[in-house]
Amino acid sequence: MYWLIGVLASLCLIFATRFYLLRREIKRLAIQMPDFAASARYGQRLYLEEHDSALAKAVLEINRMVDVYENQLRRVDELEQNIRLSITGLSHDLRTPLTSLAGYLQLMEKAPSPEKQQEYLAIILDSVKVLQGLTERFYELTRLELNENSYDIQSLNLEHAVCECFLRFFEEFDRKKIELNIKDAANPPEVCADPMALQRVLYNLIQNLLRYAIGTVTISFYEEGGFHAVKIGNETEIPLPNHIDSIFDRFHTADPSRSSQGTGLGLYISRKLVHGMGGEITAEKDKQMLFIIVKLRMDHNM
């Protein structure tokens, strides 16, 4: 009988001790909570000194919720910073066409000759087109930054898409005395891509070529690690940056004066679009030769 009382007393002591420790642990957690919200963004998390499976699970879930919240805050901060930088860069690029518009409109008020009027109107229309292009790119950039762009991924032939886009600009290349050397793909490069997004990427690359390429533009296709790739190479007189990947930075421009019509957004938007399709876009250089490589996932159903 005495041994039973002893066992019960021991159990009571164990439970009482356990209750005391848990109560102390809960109090310690409660003390952590007021400073927790402020310090969570700097890596602070709740922790236990005494192990209890139920309490440990609750603390783990709280820490996970904080991780999610912290990631969301970080994403919001990045978006805010990106949009602020985009607005700053766009404001800089808007200055040139707006100044041109204001100047030539003032000249138009002086009633110049019909020939001069036509000349001024042509310049004004060019400035308006630049402004339209800038606003369209900024709208596209904002959608991409906010992840509002949707992709209609389909199976398509990369070689056909590239040739179709480049041949649409054949006359422009011819006027610039740029020769196109398109090499046939060894195998049909069937890829998973959004046709409109891919077209936008190719148009951005073509606009860069028309601005900066000289001589011959070489286009070739190859396969690598589950991707079909198109490699576009051209020589340029514009100095290439030491860190060639910087050409994909937002508002990077080959012309430091920013006097050209290029905003520097084209390659940045292209990288966003290619990544949205699950692909990769990179750059390489060899002296004054620039190579842009676009890789898209193979369509293994073909």
Tokens representing residue 273 in the block = 């679009």
CATH number corresponding to 75-145: 1.10.287.130
CB 218 within 8 A of CB 181: yes
Confidence of residue 260 (pLDDT cuts 50, 70, 90): very low
CATH number among 3.30.565.10, 3.40.50.1980, 3.30.70.260, 3.40.50.1000, domain 154-297: 3.30.565.10
* Cα–Cα dist 278/209, whole Å: 25
pLDDT of residue 258: 43
pLDDT of residue 187: 86
Tell me which DSSP letter residue 177 carries.
Answer: T
By C-alpha distance, which of 237, 251, 245, 161 is closest to 206? 161
Summarize the confidence of residues 75-94 as an average pLDDT: 67
- The domain spans of the chain are 2-74, 75-145, 154-297
Summarize the confidence of residues 83-91 as an average pLDDT: 65
Query: Does the pLDDT at position 290 exceed 90?
Result: yes
Taken in order 270, 271, 274, 280, the sign of the CA dihedral is positive
* Cα–Cα dist 277/297, whole Å: 8
* Cα–Cα dist 117/151, whole Å: 45
pTM of the full predicted structure? Answer: 0.61
- Dihedral, CA of residue 261, residue 144, residue 156 and residue 166, to nearest 10: 0
CB 82 within 8 A of CB 250: yes
**H or E segment to which residue 240 belongs:** none
Phi and psi, residue 177, nearest 5°? 60, 40
pLDDT of residue 33: 63
Q: How many residues does the chain have?
A: 302
Number of H helices and E strands in the chain, helices first, is 7, 7
Contacts of 153 (CB under 8 A, 6+ apart): 192, 193, 194, 277, 278
Side chain identity at residue 84, one-letter code: R
pLDDT tens readout for residues 148-186: 677 889 999 999 999 999 988 999 999 999 999 999 988
* Cα–Cα dist 30/23, whole Å: 11
Most confident of 57-61, 169-173, 229-233: 229-233
